[in-house]
Structure 1
Amino acid sequence: MAFGDFGRAGGDIAFSRRSLLRSSAWLTAGAAMSAMPMGRLAFAHDVSESWPNISTMVNSYLDSKKVASMLVTLGDGQEDHAHTIGGGTLALGDSTPIDEDSLFRIYSMTKPITGMATMMLIDEGLLGLDQPVGEILPAFADMQVLVDPEGSLEDTVPADRPITIRHLLTHTAGIGYLITSKGPLGQAFVDQGLVGGRVSRFPIPGLPNVTPAPNLEEWADRLATLPLMAQPGTEWIYSASIDLLGRVIEVVSGQSFESFLQTRLFDPCGMSSTYFTVPKSEAGRLTTNYGIAGGLTLPIDTGANSIFLDAPFVPSGGGGLVSSAKDYDRFLRMVLGYGLLDGERVMSESAVRVGTSNLLPDAVDTSTTWIAGEGHGAGGRVVGKQYGWGGAAGTLASVDFSLNKRVCLFTQYMPTEAYPIRKEFLAAIQADLKNKLLG
């Protein structure tokens, strides 16, 4: 049994409520950003002195032992190495320092990767953005919709339109999620083993005991038997739709989802440290993930005994990957380069431009959702010229096309609302940029 499969109490929800880097943080400071010493420090990657407020914030968490590690990376255009702030160790009380090759559970930062993989297939004509999913996965052709999202699974009406690939990419398919569904539907996700990311090999209070579906195909077939929470294309509901895209990719490409990501994204991008299953030989690079409860910081998944050393039953396109700061920065570099990385074309410029644009259906009102006032692209939020997402264990990442910048924050703790790191990180960036403008 996978006691730690991502459950209702996961921190992914709170971590995704506000934009990663609001326009007031980056976009009002173009002149200051262009004058940053990033290019001049190509071989001196630590830029703490140039970003004192970020450095102070990061060091406050490290010095107080609230987290074992916190690493910020700041990349400028297509420079081949991001600059860093922070550090720490693989675990509290451990003497092994982390670096850009250390491994972190990135959870929902997997979603933009799955989104870009989907855009590749759309660009190649193997998928259509507005193609009904039922044409690829027939079990999804005739869906039912709950009259009450928290009510009886028998009280339904027929879907008045098909689920499309656009709906899956933007969480507007009406599909539920283990961490957002309530009532009978939420229990059905547990009973059917419709898991997303994994947390631990051991029982964790607050997380349901879930036996996962045996494979991605069966996972998708079971999901198709459950009613939707809303009519497709009408509401933004954080959902298992990005996980379902993993199965769509398998059917359309003729490859396993894991193989497709490896051959089409990870290998071409030089992402040699991004895994659904961390090889035993690399366990020494894997950080420990912590649970924060009642003022206590407790290890819930140690590097040496991590659940990510086991192959998952279901490779989760919505939250299943482990990666390094260096690897994810290479993915962001590729996106920021509109599909070009180190002179090699990984995906087409048009695929990136469409995937990082606002793809929300016109009828969707997001005013009462976590992304109010924002857009949503292929697996990530869109705010102006920014595209990115965060993860349940404190990670976050974004690119800003208008400033030609990329940024990541890596740490490991759950739930994310235990610490106001996102808010403090935003404030620190704003303060540093303001100082640069005034200085």
Structure 2
Amino acid sequence: MNMMVSRRALLGGLVFGGGAAMLPGVALAWRSDAAAYPATHTFINGFVARRELAGTLAAIGKGQEAATFFGAGTQAMDSATPVGPDTVWRLYSMTKPITGIAAMLLVDEGKLRLDQPIADLLPAFANMKVQNTPDGSLADLRPAKTLITVRHLLTHTAGLGYNIIQKGPLRDAYNKAGLVGGQVSRLPIPGFPPITPAPSLTAFADRLATLPLVYEPGTRWSYSIGLDLMGRVIEVASGQPFDAFLKQRIFDPLGMKSTGFRVAEADVGRLTTNYAPLGGVLLPIDPARSSIYLDPPPMPYGGGGLVSSARDYDRFLAMLLGEGATGGVRIMSPETARLAMSNLLPEGADTRGSFVAGEGFGAGGRVSLASSPTGEGIFGWGGAAGTIGFVDRKRGYRAGGYAQYMPAEALPFQSGFGPAFFKDVMA
């Protein structure tokens, strides 16, 4: 069964019938020069030492130098395999910056424009309606004043909803239409209705166009399904299936051999198990050997569908830090790479009360500003299962933190990784 699970609901105390396992003690750590980043090493190791997570990993690189990988624990509580640079993790929303960069490749080539209405490519979005009351009645609507643009999709300002964010009738309509942003498990999850996902990006886009917007396009940052819709825009603009475009234009040139929307049977031995922490117990919600990622996905989810290794994602981050190039391979111009990692929010867009309050947003990732605690130059995003990846262009670093638990807010791994990293960098 495909499920997009609410982070808040998992945190609120789902109870699973059986299958729970107590956390193991500290397993043999996989590491490489962790002494260079003592605060980060202590931080990630602590989650395994305290028996809160099965395995954690960090990948840190400076400039275009080779990354340092260090970690603790194993891929699953019933596995003896230590985590390492080629362990496969569910990225969830760390997929969004990859999709954002894919769109910017087409901007680079003149096949898309940032302020181009997506109705030029998807005519069904030409006459959208907006809820008069966000998450209110589906009948109390007004015509949208502004057409949704490429910029809006990249920056979560299109006014679109998300079934993990919205409430009430719009959330129910998204669920009924199969408008989900990813998949979690083959297992039924108590308390959640079964959802049959849209069977293709074409169907996804067509169904989404029939539902109202939550906000007027361009006016408010609201976490949304926009990067999933961007996958369909990329298909039309490029003339290629979205997943094929990513493989040809990003994954193959950068040598990202462990990245995709599905885990091959031959690679299941490198896949982590995903857990839900509850009262000192880890509940396996997607065991590696029976993972939903072994099945072909209904569609390639540009907002949350990829799996990858720390080694692969570090190559993507190295390309960003190299302003479009790494390892002698250039996939986009420096000017477009810098644009992608700049603040692309529409002028006047309201971020108050959101995940990015007081920050900027670029092509699928948060952008730090001069007023941010770290100063400007940070670009990246995290995933629903605890992962996080970013580049620090000002200081010349790239960093990724990896764990597998849902929701990300259940433990302070994702939220604390950046501060630990910056403690090392600024020491």
Give the TM-score normalised by the residue count of structure 1: 0.89
* TM-aligned CA distance change 1:124 to 1:180, over 3 Å: same
Match of 1:34 in 2: none
Per the TM alignment, residue 433 of structure 1 is displaced from its structure 2 partner at its CA by: 4.4
SS at structure 2 position matched to 1:332: helix
CA contact (8 A) 1:68 1:92 kept: yes
Match of 1:8 in 2: 6
- Are positions 1:408 and 2:400 aligned together? yes
> Partners of 2:69 and 2:331 in 1: how far apart?
26
> Partners of 1:422 and 1:122 in 2: how far apart?
31
- Runs of 4+ displaced beyond 4 Å: 10-14
> Partners of 2:316 and 2:288 in 1: how far apart?
24
Per the TM alignment, residue 281 of structure 1 is displaced from its structure 2 partner at its CA by: 0.9
| Per-residue CA distance 1:4-47 (angstroms, 9 max, x = gap) | x2133369999xxxxxxxxxxxxxxxxxxxxxxxxxxxxx9723
Q: CA RMSD in A?
A: 1.8
Match of 1:37 in 2: none
| Per-residue CA distance 1:95-116 (angstroms, 9 max, x = gap) | 1112100100000000000000
SS at structure 1 position matched to 2:7: coil
> Partners of 1:242 and 1:429 in 2: how far apart?
28
Unaligned runs of 5+ in 1: 15-43
Letter in 2 for 1:299: P
Q: 1:68 aligns with which of 32, 54, 61?
A: 54
* TM-aligned CA distance change 1:194 to 1:326, over 3 Å: same
Per the TM alignment, residue 191 of structure 1 is displaced from its structure 2 partner at its CA by: 0.4
Matches within 5 A, 1:153-302: 153-302=138-287
SS at structure 2 position matched to 1:387: strand
Count of aligned residue pairs for this structure pair: 403
> Partners of 1:84 and 1:77 in 2: how far apart?
15
> Partners of 1:386 and 1:155 in 2: how far apart?
40
* TM-aligned CA distance change 1:10 to 1:285, over 3 Å: farther
Percent identity over the alignment is 52
CA contact (8 A) 1:175 1:239 kept: yes
Matches within 5 A, 1:34-433: 46-79=32-65, 81-383=66-368, 384-433=376-425
Higher relative contact order (CA 8 A, sep 6+): 1
Per the TM alignment, residue 53 of structure 1 is displaced from its structure 2 partner at its CA by: 2.3
| Per-residue CA distance 1:296-355 (angstroms, 9 max, x = gap) | 211111111100010111210000000000000000001110111111211111111111
CA contact (8 A) 2:119 2:125 kept: yes
SS at structure 1 position matched to 2:207: helix
CA contact (8 A) 2:52 2:280 kept: no
* TM-aligned CA distance change 1:218 to 1:423, over 3 Å: closer
Per the TM alignment, residue 271 of structure 1 is displaced from its structure 2 partner at its CA by: 0.3
CA contact (8 A) 1:196 1:318 kept: yes
Letter in 1 for 2:403: T
SS at structure 1 position matched to 2:389: strand
Letter in 1 for 2:383: G
Give the TM-score normalised by the residue count of structure 2: 0.91
| Per-residue CA distance 1:387-415 (angstroms, 9 max, x = gap) | 00000000000001111110000110011
> Partners of 1:204 and 1:294 in 2: how far apart?
18
Letter in 1 for 2:240: Q
> Partners of 2:278 and 2:100 in 1: how far apart?
33
| Per-residue CA distance 1:66-103 (angstroms, 9 max, x = gap) | 11110011101111x21022232110132111210010
> Partners of 2:189 and 2:31 in 1: how far apart?
38
Unaligned runs of 5+ in 2: 13-29, 369-375
Letter in 2 for 1:407: A
> Partners of 2:9 and 2:425 in 1: how far apart?
29
